[in-house]
Amino acid sequence: MRLRFILNGKPMEVDTHSGRRLLDLLREDLGLIGVKEGCGEGECGACTVLVNGKPRLSCLTAAIQVEGKEILTVEGLWENGKLHPIQKAFVETAGVQCGFCTPGFIMATYALLSENPDPSPSEVREWLAGNLCRCTGYAQIIEAVLLAAKYMRGDALRVTRAEKTS
Ligand code: FES
Ligand code: FES
Protein backbone atom coordinates (compact mmCIF):
# COMPACT_ATOMS: atom_id res chain seq x y z
CA MET A 1 0.00 0.00 0.00
CA ARG A 2 1.07 3.58 -0.71
CA LEU A 3 1.69 5.74 2.35
CA ARG A 4 1.97 9.55 2.25
CA PHE A 5 3.20 11.68 5.11
CA ILE A 6 5.55 14.55 5.97
CA LEU A 7 8.94 13.44 7.26
CA ASN A 8 11.20 16.04 8.83
CA GLY A 9 9.44 18.75 6.87
CA LYS A 10 9.47 16.97 3.49
CA PRO A 11 6.57 15.23 1.74
CA MET A 12 7.20 11.50 1.49
CA GLU A 13 5.55 8.63 -0.40
CA VAL A 14 6.56 5.04 0.31
CA ASP A 15 5.19 1.59 -0.34
CA THR A 16 4.62 -0.47 2.78
CA HIS A 17 2.35 -3.16 4.18
CA SER A 18 -0.07 -3.29 7.06
CA GLY A 19 2.23 -5.23 9.41
CA ARG A 20 5.17 -2.82 9.12
CA ARG A 21 6.20 -0.97 12.28
CA LEU A 22 6.94 2.75 12.01
CA LEU A 23 10.35 2.00 13.56
CA ASP A 24 11.27 -0.34 10.69
CA LEU A 25 9.91 2.00 8.06
CA LEU A 26 12.05 4.84 9.41
CA ARG A 27 15.25 2.90 10.12
CA GLU A 28 15.31 0.23 7.44
CA ASP A 29 13.29 1.66 4.56
CA LEU A 30 14.24 5.32 4.94
CA GLY A 31 17.68 5.03 6.59
CA LEU A 32 16.92 7.20 9.61
CA ILE A 33 19.14 5.30 12.02
CA GLY A 34 18.88 8.00 14.70
CA VAL A 35 15.65 6.21 15.62
CA LYS A 36 16.87 3.46 17.94
CA GLU A 37 15.42 0.09 18.80
CA GLY A 38 16.05 -0.79 22.44
CA CYS A 39 13.45 -3.12 23.92
CA GLY A 40 11.10 -3.27 20.94
CA GLU A 41 8.16 -3.56 23.31
CA GLY A 42 7.32 -0.10 24.59
CA GLU A 43 9.48 -0.08 27.73
CA CYS A 44 12.57 2.05 27.02
CA GLY A 45 11.63 5.09 24.90
CA ALA A 46 14.68 4.78 22.62
CA CYS A 47 12.45 4.68 19.54
CA THR A 48 10.54 7.89 20.38
CA VAL A 49 9.62 10.12 17.44
CA LEU A 50 7.07 12.92 17.19
CA VAL A 51 3.82 12.33 15.30
CA ASN A 52 1.94 15.60 14.80
CA GLY A 53 4.08 17.04 17.61
CA LYS A 54 3.33 14.32 20.17
CA PRO A 55 5.88 11.74 21.33
CA ARG A 56 5.13 8.26 20.03
CA LEU A 57 6.93 4.95 20.47
CA SER A 58 7.69 3.94 16.91
CA CYS A 59 8.15 0.29 17.95
CA LEU A 60 4.49 0.15 18.94
CA THR A 61 3.14 2.29 16.08
CA ALA A 62 2.03 0.77 12.80
CA ALA A 63 3.48 2.60 9.81
CA ILE A 64 0.00 2.93 8.30
CA GLN A 65 -1.09 5.00 11.31
CA VAL A 66 1.03 7.94 10.10
CA GLU A 67 -0.83 8.39 6.80
CA GLY A 68 -1.23 12.14 6.26
CA LYS A 69 0.64 13.04 9.45
CA GLU A 70 3.85 14.91 10.27
CA ILE A 71 6.77 12.89 11.62
CA LEU A 72 9.80 14.46 13.25
CA THR A 73 12.90 12.41 14.06
CA VAL A 74 16.19 13.51 15.57
CA GLU A 75 17.58 13.90 12.03
CA GLY A 76 15.02 16.67 11.46
CA LEU A 77 16.46 18.85 14.23
CA TRP A 78 19.66 19.76 12.39
CA GLU A 79 19.58 23.13 10.70
CA ASN A 80 22.37 24.14 8.33
CA GLY A 81 24.66 21.56 9.93
CA LYS A 82 24.20 23.05 13.42
CA LEU A 83 23.08 21.21 16.52
CA HIS A 84 19.63 22.05 17.82
CA PRO A 85 19.75 23.81 21.26
CA ILE A 86 18.48 20.59 22.88
CA GLN A 87 21.30 18.58 21.31
CA LYS A 88 23.82 21.25 22.34
CA ALA A 89 22.55 21.16 25.94
CA PHE A 90 22.83 17.35 26.11
CA VAL A 91 26.43 17.50 24.89
CA GLU A 92 27.40 20.33 27.25
CA THR A 93 26.01 18.66 30.37
CA ALA A 94 27.32 15.15 29.57
CA GLY A 95 23.73 14.03 29.18
CA VAL A 96 25.10 11.91 26.33
CA GLN A 97 27.37 9.00 27.19
CA CYS A 98 27.01 5.92 24.97
CA GLY A 99 24.28 7.89 23.17
CA PHE A 100 21.93 5.00 22.50
CA CYS A 101 19.04 6.48 24.49
CA THR A 102 19.78 10.07 23.44
CA PRO A 103 17.60 10.48 20.32
CA GLY A 104 14.58 9.26 22.27
CA PHE A 105 15.31 11.64 25.15
CA ILE A 106 15.86 14.52 22.75
CA MET A 107 12.57 13.97 20.93
CA ALA A 108 10.67 13.62 24.22
CA THR A 109 12.36 16.82 25.42
CA TYR A 110 11.39 18.63 22.22
CA ALA A 111 7.74 17.71 22.84
CA LEU A 112 7.95 18.76 26.49
CA LEU A 113 9.48 22.16 25.75
CA SER A 114 6.95 22.80 22.98
CA GLU A 115 4.18 22.41 25.58
CA ASN A 116 5.98 23.78 28.63
CA PRO A 117 8.94 26.11 27.93
CA ASP A 118 9.87 26.44 31.61
CA PRO A 119 9.44 23.05 33.31
CA SER A 120 10.50 22.35 36.89
CA PRO A 121 12.97 19.52 37.57
CA SER A 122 10.11 17.34 38.83
CA GLU A 123 8.05 18.04 35.71
CA VAL A 124 11.04 17.03 33.59
CA ARG A 125 11.48 13.81 35.59
CA GLU A 126 7.81 12.97 35.29
CA TRP A 127 7.69 13.68 31.54
CA LEU A 128 10.78 11.57 30.84
CA ALA A 129 9.75 8.67 33.08
CA GLY A 130 9.18 6.45 30.02
CA ASN A 131 12.73 6.96 28.69
CA LEU A 132 15.44 4.76 30.14
CA CYS A 133 19.19 5.39 30.26
CA ARG A 134 21.72 2.83 31.45
CA CYS A 135 24.70 5.20 31.57
CA THR A 136 24.08 8.63 33.04
CA GLY A 137 22.11 8.14 36.26
CA TYR A 138 19.65 10.75 34.87
CA ALA A 139 21.02 13.79 36.78
CA GLN A 140 22.87 15.09 33.70
CA ILE A 141 19.84 14.46 31.52
CA ILE A 142 17.59 16.53 33.79
CA GLU A 143 20.27 19.23 33.78
CA ALA A 144 20.41 19.05 29.97
CA VAL A 145 16.66 19.54 29.63
CA LEU A 146 16.67 22.54 31.99
CA LEU A 147 19.59 24.08 30.07
CA ALA A 148 17.86 23.39 26.75
CA ALA A 149 14.76 25.15 28.09
CA LYS A 150 16.91 28.18 28.93
CA TYR A 151 18.52 28.16 25.48
CA MET A 152 15.16 27.95 23.78
CA ARG A 153 13.68 30.76 25.88
CA GLY A 154 16.79 32.84 25.21
CA ASP A 155 17.67 33.12 28.93
CA ALA A 156 21.09 31.50 28.54
CA LEU A 157 21.97 33.93 25.78
CA ARG A 158 20.96 36.87 27.96
CA VAL A 159 22.98 35.50 30.89
CA THR A 160 26.05 35.06 28.69
CA ARG A 161 25.76 38.62 27.33
CA ALA A 162 25.22 40.08 30.82
CA GLU A 163 28.28 38.21 32.12
CA LYS A 164 30.36 39.49 29.22
CA THR A 165 29.39 43.12 29.80
CA SER A 166 29.77 43.06 33.62
S1 FES B 1 12.30 0.27 21.42
FE2 FES B 1 10.39 1.25 21.54
S3 FES B 1 10.08 1.56 23.66
FE4 FES B 1 11.95 0.43 23.57
S1 FES C 1 23.74 7.42 27.40
FE2 FES C 1 23.97 5.26 27.30
S3 FES C 1 21.96 4.49 27.58
FE4 FES C 1 21.78 6.60 27.94
**Residues 46-95 pLDDT 10s:** 999 999 999 999 999 999 999 999 999 999 998 888 999 999 999 999 99
For helices 102-115 and 139-153, give the axis angle rounded to 10 degrees. Answer: 40
Which domain CATH number covers 51?
3.10.20.30
Cβ-contact 48, 87 below 8 angstroms: no
In the predicted model, is pLDDT for residue 20 greater than 80?
yes
The pLDDT value given to residue 80: 82
Judgement on whether residues 68 and 106 belong to the same structural domain of the protein: no
Judgement on whether residues 111 and 142 belong to the same structural domain of the protein: yes
Written as one letter, the residue type at 5 is F
Judgement on whether residues 35 and 97 belong to the same structural domain of the protein: no
37 within ligand 1 shell (Cβ under 6 A): yes
The pLDDT value given to residue 79: 81
Q: Which atom of ligand 1 is nearest to the CA of 44?
A: 4
In which band, very low, low, confident or very high, does the pLDDT at 161 lie, cut at 50, 70 and 90? low
Average model confidence (pLDDT) for the chain?
Answer: 94
User: For 91-139, how does the pLDDT look when each residue is reduced to its tens digit (9 = 90+)?
Assistant: 999 999 999 999 999 999 999 999 999 999 999 999 999 999 999 999 9
Distance, CA of 14 to CA of 160 (rounded, Å): 46
Query: Can you tell me the mean pLDDT for 17-29?
Result: 96
Which domain CATH number covers 98?
1.10.150.120
22 within ligand 1 shell (Cβ under 6 A): no
Judgement on whether residues 18 and 68 belong to the same structural domain of the protein: yes
In the predicted model, is pLDDT for residue 160 greater than 60?
no
For the beta sheet containing 10-15, the strands, ordered from the edge strand earlier in sequence to the opposite edge, are 10-15, 2-7, 70-72, 48-51, 54-57
Write out the residue range of the structural domain in which residue 108 sits. 85-165
- DSSP secondary structure, the chain, as one string: -EEEEEETTEEEEEE--TT-BHHHIIIIIT--TTS--SSSSSSS-TTEEEETTEEEETTSSBGGGGTT-EEE-GGGG-BTTB--HHHHHHHHTT--SS-SSHHHHHHHHHHHHHH-SS--HHHHHHHGGG---SSS-SHHHHHHHHHHHHHHHTHHHHHHHHHHH-
Percent of the chain at pLDDT exceeding 90: 90
The CA 121 to ligand 1 mean position distance, Å, reads 24
In the predicted model, is pLDDT for residue 165 greater than 80?
no
The pLDDT value given to residue 155: 73
Distance, CA of 109 to CA of 149 (rounded, Å): 9
Q: Which atom of ligand 2 is nearest to the CA of 134?
A: 3
Q: Which atom of ligand 2 is nearest to the CA of 105?
A: 4
